[in-house]
Amino acid sequence: MEQGHILIIGASAIIVIVLFTVVLFVYAGNSTGAETYEIRYPTQETAQNENTDSESASAGEYIAIQGFDRLIFRANKTNQIVSLCNPAKNKCYFQIKIVLPDGREIYNSDMIAPNESISKINLNTALPKGTHENSALIYTCYSTDTLKIINGATIKFTLEVR
């Protein structure tokens, strides 16, 4: 092989190695900007692990309400996955409404008995993508004996529609 050809191949190999090194450095430097696939779970899921055998002296005299600060819905769909439950220790039915900050009611449940939960709901209306801070989950509590309203609670949360 002629000496000129050896020089060309050698120079080319050096260029390739240098370019490869540069590309590798650029790639490593930008790695945090890579496309991210997020796995998020509805925030109320972890709240489901309540210990129903709580030694609380309040069992039967208090109403336990599980809360969260964020709920995630799918955009443009009425059927949604949630995890809303009435803890077993309660002695009341729950009726749960979801209300947007502008006052629109998008969901109203049937009575939920103690130790029952809801995992699939159908909204009154599908929502576009967006974030609704100060949305409300309104719990109304009914006596299991008389079905009269006892009291209730409103949980403020951020509804994320993706």
Nearer to another protein, 113 or 126 (CB): 113
Shortest distance (Å) from residue 122 CB to another protein = 24
CB burial class (10 A; 0-12, 13-18, 19+) of residue 88? middle
Nearer to another protein, 75 or 153 (CB): 153
Contacts with another protein by CB under 8 A lie at: 1-2, 4-5, 8-9, 12-13, 15-16, 19-20, 23-24, 27, 31, 34-47, 49-50, 54, 56, 58, 60-70, 87, 90-92, 141, 149-157
Of 152, 139, 133, give the one whose Cα is nearest residue 69: 133
Shortest distance (Å) from residue 135 CB to another protein = 11
Q: Counting every residue, how long is the chain? A: 162
CA–CA distance from 55 to each of 46, 63, 64, 91, 116 (Å)? 20, 14, 13, 16, 21
Shortest distance (Å) from residue 81 CB to another protein = 15
Q: How far apart are CA 144 and CA 142, in angstroms?
A: 6
Shortest distance (Å) from residue 134 CB to another protein = 9
